[in-house]
């Protein structure tokens, strides 16, 4: 146990160390140039963590590793639960059936495509392929973090998936506004997207929430375009709970089949995903003052940054040997589907051919 008397001091020291790294990541993410790039504290945290893992980790007490692992596992689950305070069912209802169907279609299709490409076409192991797929299909780094304990994957595999999210999500922040200004806004017929449709398109296909805000902020915050993008994106975030539950059921049944007819079926239900859904439901009743919810979200962001920093600290470059370019090819295949296929899905569902 991480908090046994023998290891308690080292565990606590490790947690404090991770918290200090997360605080540094939060400060760096708030700096002008970094903020302009749309890099969240989570992304900065994993970069610092990876730097530590590959340069300085041998200079710190080994006893701290239990605290780092605790941050990457236990604090992560706690933070995912309270991520539900960012969503209300009213927000989902606001964009209506069209926004929900775009979110659902893109999530399911992207996850299946990414898993298939990674495993069948490019020879990735199951965990890396599914983690990369979850990051692209749901909500970026946070989705990778949430999926990792369901798969029981190694930290470095999650780090690979996060790096793909950062790469293609960053491209989206620049590509999408250019496409809208140069093509979608002025085109007629099939290639035209209204501001409302463009918002749905961005929310349904861009990786991170911060990247969605950047890509949809052409006309400024608070516009129909920006609001639709954020709400559709948060609908995708909400769908992570049923996705993880279904993934747990799939993995359990697959393990039972591969184990033979007499194998014991061990049901893997990510309860933190269920609790996340419960928090979103509670938040929908608007029982807490907005100031309190804002504080909860700020604390939750910090806890997620701790988890991401700890994830980076478990990532050694030596483990990447043999992986090659397969994750990049997998992520690129999903990205082409998100950009091109997502456009077609939005046109079909909104009935605007």
Secondary structure of residue 321 in the 3-state scheme? coil
User: What percent of the chain is helix, strand and coil (3-state, nearest 5)?
Assistant: 80, 0, 20
For residues 292 and 299, give the distance between their C-alpha atoms in angstroms, rounded to a whole number: 11
Cα–Cα distance list, 240 to 64, 147, 200, 321 (Å): 32, 9, 18, 31
pLDDT of residue 38: 64
pLDDT of residue 261: 45
Q: Which residue has the higher pLDDT, 164 or 174?
A: 164
Q: Tell me the Ramachandran region of residue 38: left when phi exceeds 0, alpha when psi lies from -120 to 50, beta otherwise.
A: left
Are 136 and 110 contacting, i.e. CB atoms less than 8 angstroms apart? yes
pLDDT of residue 250 exceeding 80: yes
Q: Which residue has the higher pLDDT, 287 or 38?
A: 287
pLDDT of residue 155 exceeding 90: no
pLDDT of residue 349: 93
For residues 22 and 260, give the distance between their C-alpha atoms in angstroms, rounded to a whole number: 45
pLDDT of residue 265: 42
pLDDT digits (tens, 9 = 90+) for 169-212: 878 877 998 899 899 998 988 999 998 899 999 999 998 776 78
DSSP 186: T
Q: What is the mean pLDDT of the chain?
A: 84
Q: Which residue has the higher pLDDT, 34 or 297?
A: 297
- Rounded mean pLDDT, 257-267: 55
pLDDT digits (tens, 9 = 90+) for 116-129: 999 999 999 999 99
The burial of 267, by beta-carbon neighbours within 10 Å (0-12 exposed, 13-18 middle, 19 or more buried), is given as: exposed
Q: Which residue has the higher pLDDT, 61 or 91?
A: 61
pLDDT of residue 242 exceeding 80: yes
Are 131 and 240 contacting, i.e. CB atoms less than 8 angstroms apart? no
For 114-142, letters b (16+ CB in 10 Å) and e give: bbebbbeebebeebbbbbbbbbbbbbbbb
- Rounded mean pLDDT, 32-39: 77
pLDDT of residue 269: 60
Are 138 and 236 contacting, i.e. CB atoms less than 8 angstroms apart? yes
- Rounded mean pLDDT, 11-35: 92
Those residues whose C-beta lies under 8 Å from the C-beta of residue 261, and which sit 6 or more positions away, are: none
Which of 2-11, 147-156, 306-315, 319-328 is the least confident region? Answer: 2-11
Q: Which residue has the higher pLDDT, 209 or 51?
A: 51
Secondary structure of residue 121 in the 3-state scheme? helix
Q: Which residue has the higher pLDDT, 210 or 31?
A: 31
pLDDT of residue 192: 92
């Amino acid at each position: 146990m991480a908090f046994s008397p023998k290891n308690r001091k080292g565990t606590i020291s490790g947690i404090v160390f991770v918290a200090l790294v997360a605080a540094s990541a939060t400060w760096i993410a708030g700096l002008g140039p970094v903020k302009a790039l749309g890099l969240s504290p989570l992304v900065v945290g994993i970069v610092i963590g990876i730097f530590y893992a590959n340069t300085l980790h041998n200079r710190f007490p080994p006893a701290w590793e239990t605290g780092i692992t605790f941050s990457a596992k236990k604090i992560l689950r706690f933070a995912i639960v309270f991520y539900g305070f960012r969503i209300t069912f009213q927000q989902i209802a606001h964009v209506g059936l069209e926004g929900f169907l775009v979110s659902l279609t893109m999530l399911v299709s992207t996850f299946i495509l990414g898993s298939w490409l990674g495993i069948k076409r490019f020879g990735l192991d199951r965990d890396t392929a599914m983690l990369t797929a979850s990051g692209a299909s749901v909500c970026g780094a946070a989705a990778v973090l949430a999926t990792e304990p369901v798969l029981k994957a190694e930290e470095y595999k999650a780090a690979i998936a996060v790096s793909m999210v950062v790469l293609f999500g960053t491209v989206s922040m620049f590509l999408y506004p250019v496409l809208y200004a140069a093509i979608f806004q002025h085109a007629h017929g099939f290639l035209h997207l209204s501001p409302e449709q463009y918002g749905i398109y961005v929310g349904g296909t861009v990786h991170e929430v911060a990247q969605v805000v950047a890509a949809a902020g052409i006309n400024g915050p608070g516009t129909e375009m920006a609001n639709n993008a954020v709400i559709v994106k948060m609908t995708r975030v909400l769908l992570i709970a049923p996705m993880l539950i279904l993934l747990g059921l799939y993995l359990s049944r697959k393990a039972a089949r591969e184990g033979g007819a007499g194998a014991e079926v061990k049901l893997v239900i990510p309860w933190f995903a269920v609790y996340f859904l419960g928090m979103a439901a509670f938040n929908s009743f608007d029982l807490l003052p907005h100031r309190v919810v804002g504080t909860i979200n700020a604390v939750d962001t910090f806890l997620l940054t701790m988890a991401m920093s700890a994830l980076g600290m478990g990532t050694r470059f030596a483990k990447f040997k043999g992986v090659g370019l397969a994750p990049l090819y997998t992520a690129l295949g999903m990205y082409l589907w998100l950009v091109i296929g997502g456009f077609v899905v939005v046109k079909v569902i909104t009935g605007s051919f």
